[in-house]
Structure 1
Amino acid sequence: MTDPLLLHQDSVVVDTHNDLILLVDHFDRREQPDHFGQFWLPELRAGGVDVQVLPICIEDQFQSEGALRRTLLLIERIHELGAEYSDDVAVCLTGAEVDAATSSGRIALVIALEGAHAIGQDPQLVRTLARVGVRVISMAHYARTFLADGSGLDSTSRSRLTPEGITALHEMEELGIVFDISHLGIGGVEDVLSLATRPFLATHSACLGITDSHRNLGDEQLKAIAELGGVIGVAAAVPFFIDAKSPTAERVVDHIERIIDVAGIDHVGLGPDIIDDYYQHVFGGWVGAPTNGVEYERAEIVRPSDFPRITEVMVRRGFREADIRKILGENVLRVLRDVMGVPAR
């Protein structure tokens, strides 16, 4: 039997969603600027993470007047981390740079926007944000932006992309920015699936067929993402997306298997949505979205150091080694190499 830990350590592990920069900023403001080096870097190493997508999520108090300023400040902080910890991490703009970083033993950092509040009603700012290093963008969070509605509004609007949203999607494809469909409402998902010409990611989603949440994707959506060459990152660290009553590594692999059955082995990855520590430190627990008053158990996958548990379950269930490597990172790497920083022809 394959040793799960050795296989995990030997694989390229890509995490498509960790909100760590919010906690870094939280401790920066409390005169603890070494939080990344003290806490996150050891966690990433313990989890075998080789590529880390870093989303910038804009808190309610910065929407929408302060969104651009807040976004740029957090982007600058990521670049500062890249310079300060240059022996361990590298901010990457292309798939080739990701490969170079991982080959040198460094963790490749990819800057992302969760919600794109900074763009406002001006799609031309997609180009500005690309210039400062953004390489993955989603158009909405839970609520409404000038580009699209988030899935939290599905019960009231099911709105499609706005004209600005359609323009922004075309800008992303032209520039080589990877589109992120997670959080987008039903109507927006339909628009993206009909308009997209390049592979994209659902950086942190799960299966509606297993867990009934507006944040999860239905089988037809999973199939359509796969047909475009995309990859769905399973949001292993959020109980409400996996199974509020039993958010275990076993249940995470249930979602992985469902995506494989529906979309194929080449279209599933890991997008755990690491944010538990932020909620605990800042709010004393999960508050507001996405709990919606639902009772829940703490997820088994909370931090990067927990990732090997997912590999252990896959090995126990008899996954082929080559397939485990695809799930852990190779599938997402394919999208990054094909799209990130590669302008559309």
Structure 2
Amino acid sequence: MPTDASRLHREAVVADTHNDLLMAVTVRPPAEWADYFRARWLPQLRTGGVNVQVLPVFSGWDHETDGALKRTLRMIEAAHRLAEGNADAVALCRDAAEIDAALGGGRIALVLALESCIGIGSDVELFATLYRLGVRVASLTHMGRTAFADGSGEDATGGRLTAAGVAAVAEMHRLGMLLDVSHLGAGGVEHVLELAQGPVIATHSSARALRDHHRNLTDAQLRGIAATGGVVCVNFFASFLHETEHTVDKIVDHIEHIAGVAGIDHVGLGPDFLKEVEADLTPPWCDGMEVAGLDIHACVPGLEGPEGLPLVTEALLRRGFTGDDTAKVLGGNVLALLRRVLG
């Protein structure tokens, strides 16, 4: 790979494993979904050089099961419609061949990910239904509790997976669905790593050794994920990087630490760009809104959205990462994982 930052960013595969843009899409009327994506998000993804975009389908701890299932289905439908309405630019991909075809045709490969399984309840068989609809990545919970596991916000319980959670892991392996441990509580991560029969991913988690927050992963967890053949994708959310210093170099600190602990083949990018999404969802009088005690509007300057991703490439090269290693971090590792699991 080249060592010039602009050229390297253009030539590398850039994979973002967590952008909640579907939440912003679905607050609009369905007739506007495809056009809104084309007008507002597609230019940002193109400017940022994104080639593979994982799209979370989110339900939080405050959604009841039936409402969460309807929300889940609505977001999946939105993903299909925005892909169909922008077929010249993006493709919703279900396997490695479709991802490679999209990349080969100059389109952005979209991959659906279930963020929390609240809508499923304890009905493990519904994973197969969601798989038929195109979901290829799933996490068992968000900050709180589901029928499968406790989220990291409930770490004090010491909870591992429930019996239904164990069955869910087995079913996801059977289907060829990639298991995401971001948001899972510490006991649940340990349990998943004991059960894993293949690679797992952390789609948007950073290093706890650098920022002691329950949403970040310990060195032992990083090594465990790497041992499965999985990838840890660094979250850019400012409050997960450092208490006060919110800079691109802090992102690189987390990338460098994870690469040092887990290996350079096991780190990627999961930015979790929230500023624009939350601006769409949050009333203007709630500008100081917090989630889990953190300011959700705090951002790394220049990385409020995907347009800023070339800054990460520049920072990695400045830090001394080689062109080849930078390309792995930008998306090569995630692409290799998707090919391996979804192939």
TM over 0.5: yes
TM-score range with shorter-chain normalisation?
over 0.9
1:57-68 alignment runs, 5 A limit: 57-59=58-60, 62-68=63-69
Residues 325 and 293 of structure 1, relative CA distance in 2, 3 Å threshold: closer
The superposition leaves residues 30-49 of structure 1 with CA deviations (integer Å, 9 ceiling, x where unpaired) of: 96762211110000000100
Which residue of structure 2 lines up, in the alignment, with residue 100 of structure 1? 101
Shifted more, 50-59 versus 295-304: the winner is 295-304
TM-score with structure 2 setting the length: 0.94
Residues 33 and 332 of structure 1, relative CA distance in 2, 3 Å threshold: closer
Residues 175 and 218 of structure 1, relative CA distance in 2, 3 Å threshold: same
> Take 2:305 and 2:51, find their aligned partners in 1: how far apart are those partners?
15
Which residue of structure 2 lines up, in the alignment, with residue 334 of structure 1? 336
Q: Contact 2:118–2:141 at 8 Å: present in 1 too? A: yes
- Give, in angstroms, the shift of residue 101 of structure 1: 0.5
**Does residue 243 in structure 1 map to residue 245 in structure 2?**
no
Which residue of structure 1 lines up, in the alignment, with residue 309 of structure 2? 307
- Give, in angstroms, the shift of residue 239 of structure 1: 1.1
- Give, in angstroms, the shift of residue 294 of structure 1: 6.2
Residues 61 and 158 of structure 1, relative CA distance in 2, 3 Å threshold: closer
Which residue of structure 2 lines up, in the alignment, with residue 39 of structure 1? 40
Matched to 1:170, the amino acid is A
Other structure's SS at 1:55 match: strand
Instruction: Count residues in correspondence.
Output: 338
Q: Contact 1:151–1:186 at 8 Å: present in 2 too? A: yes
- Give, in angstroms, the shift of residue 59 of structure 1: 4.5
Which residue of structure 2 lines up, in the alignment, with residue 226 of structure 1? 226
Percent identical residues: 46
> Which residue among 302, 308, 320 is the counterpart of 1:318?
320
Q: Contact 2:147–2:162 at 8 Å: present in 1 too? A: yes
Matched to 1:273, the amino acid is D
Give 5+ residue unaligned stretches, structure 2. Answer: none
- Give, in angstroms, the shift of residue 240 of structure 1: 1.5
Other structure's SS at 1:41 match: helix
The superposition leaves residues 224-243 of structure 1 with CA deviations (integer Å, 9 ceiling, x where unpaired) of: 1101101000001x111112
Matched to 1:211, the amino acid is R
> Take 1:73 and 1:40, find their aligned partners in 2: how far apart are those partners?
19
> Take 2:212 and 2:280, find their aligned partners in 1: how far apart are those partners?
28
Which residue of structure 1 lines up, in the alignment, with residue 79 of structure 2? 78
- Give, in angstroms, the shift of residue 170 of structure 1: 0.5
Other structure's SS at 1:27 match: coil
Q: Contact 1:280–1:286 at 8 Å: present in 2 too? A: no
| Aligned alpha-carbon RMSD (Å) | 1.8
> Take 1:81 and 1:29, find their aligned partners in 2: how far apart are those partners?
10
> Take 2:127 and 2:82, find their aligned partners in 1: how far apart are those partners?
23
> Take 2:176 and 2:315, find their aligned partners in 1: how far apart are those partners?
35
Which residue of structure 2 lines up, in the alignment, with residue 268 of structure 1? 267
Residues 217 and 96 of structure 1, relative CA distance in 2, 3 Å threshold: same
The superposition leaves residues 85-126 of structure 1 with CA deviations (integer Å, 9 ceiling, x where unpaired) of: 000000000112111101110000000100111211101111
Residues 177 and 314 of structure 1, relative CA distance in 2, 3 Å threshold: same
> Take 2:246 and 2:143, find their aligned partners in 1: how far apart are those partners?
22
> Take 1:60 and 1:120, find their aligned partners in 2: how far apart are those partners?
12
